[in-house]
């Protein structure tokens, strides 16, 4: 039986065209995919790389200190006198073993005076910190220490304490001032000491109570130290609460800067006794207190990660 070749040829031709069409469609899709991939690769190349995370240096080679009378070593060595050689931050007294001595003495010998600067001022409040920060930035230190706030709480009365919003604005200004001129400087921020604990410890001493009254030291917390009425208790608790609010500000603002470390409340939480206080005024740290502040600071600065 003879079979016509025309239908077969037509079928074969149709199949060939169909296959060709499928092949052409697949090639076009592959080319399209390749074009998209190339475009995406180009976008990746044009897209800016994320900024590199800056790593905390646990062994900075220079230190500047800003803050108040605690960092100046006031009343540590003698009455009514700054004693920067006994400062917890930059002191040179071996008995204190300051933060600067622990960090710098191993590098290039024991003399650290050309690599450390104490720019704190006795009586300073947080409002003075921006100017101190600018002075510190002029030295381009690898580390700046900050301890401020006690004088802001130690006012004549509750109404005279520094407002929390003002405290935050001034501390933020200080950090910005430092960053504007010294962007790579690391910052260690100490918490404000617990002034309520100071009253609890010192009020047991007749000498401390007498000195506080005669010298009018930190009246918002320490005036009438024997008074334990509800009004006196409420006053002291308000001062303690304000100090805690200052510490919350220090922690919050510091957390916005990747080269800033807050001490996590280590100084506020430390259970100091009268043995850590100056025997001249029973308020500022004595030699033992300065040594403890230095130890707490070194633990934070030399840690690989913030605790």
Place of tokens 């510190």: 136
pTM: 0.83
Residue 105 and residue 19: Cα distance in Å, rounded? 82
Low-confidence ranges of the chain (pLDDT < 70): 1-52, 106-110, 306-307
pLDDT of res. 48:
61
Which of 268, 278, 294, 270 shows the shortest CA–CA distance to 88?
294
Which residues in the chain belong to E strands, given as ranges?
Answer: 63-67, 116-118, 143-147, 186-189, 260-262
Encode pLDDT of 32-79 as tens digits: 555 555 555 555 556 665 555 779 999 999 999 999 999 999 999 999
Encode pLDDT of 229-263 as tens digits: 999 999 999 999 999 999 999 999 999 999 999 99
Helix, strand, coil in percent for the chain, rounding step 5: 50, 5, 40
Query: Which tokens belong to 254?
Result: 């510091």
Residue 66 and residue 144: Cα distance in Å, rounded? 7
pLDDT of res. 105:
83
């Amino acid at each position: 039986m003879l079979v016509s070749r025309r239908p077969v040829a037509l079928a074969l031709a149709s199949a060939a065209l169909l296959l060709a069409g499928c092949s052409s469609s697949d090639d076009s899709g592959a080319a399209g995919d390749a074009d998209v991939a190339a475009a995406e690769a180009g976008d990746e190349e044009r897209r800016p790389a994320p900024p590199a995370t800056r790593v905390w240096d646990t062994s900075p080679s220079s230190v500047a200190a800003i803050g108040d009378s605690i960092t100046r070593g006031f009343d540590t060595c003698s009455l009514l006198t700054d004693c920067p050689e006994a400062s917890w931050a930059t002191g040179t007294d071996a008995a204190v073993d300051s933060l600067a001595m622990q960090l710098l003495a191993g590098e290039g010998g024991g003399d650290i005076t050309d690599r450390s600067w104490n720019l704190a001022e006795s009586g300073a409040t947080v409002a003075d910190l921006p100017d101190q920060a600018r002075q510190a930035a002029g030295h381009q230190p690898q580390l700046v220490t900050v301890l401020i706030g006690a004088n802001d709480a130690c006012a004549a009365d509750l109404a005279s304490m520094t407002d929390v919003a003002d405290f935050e604005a001034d501390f933020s200004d200080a950090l910005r001032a430092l960053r504007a001129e010294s962007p790579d400087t690391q910052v260690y921020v100490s918490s404000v000491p617990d002034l309520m604990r100071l009253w609890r410890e010192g009020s047991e001493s007749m000498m401390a109570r007498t000195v506080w009254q005669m010298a009018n030291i930190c009246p918002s917390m320490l005036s009438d130290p024997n008074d334990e009425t509800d009004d006196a208790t409420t006053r002291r608790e308000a001062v303690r609460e304000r100090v805690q609010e200052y510490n919350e500000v220090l922690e919050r603002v510091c957390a916005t800067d990747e080269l800033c470390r807050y001490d996590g409340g280590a100084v506020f939480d430390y259970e100091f006794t009268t043995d850590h206080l100056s025997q001249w005024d029973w308020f500022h740290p004595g030699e033992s207190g300065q040594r403890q502040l230095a130890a707490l600071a070194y633990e934070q600065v030399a840690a690989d990660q913030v605790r």
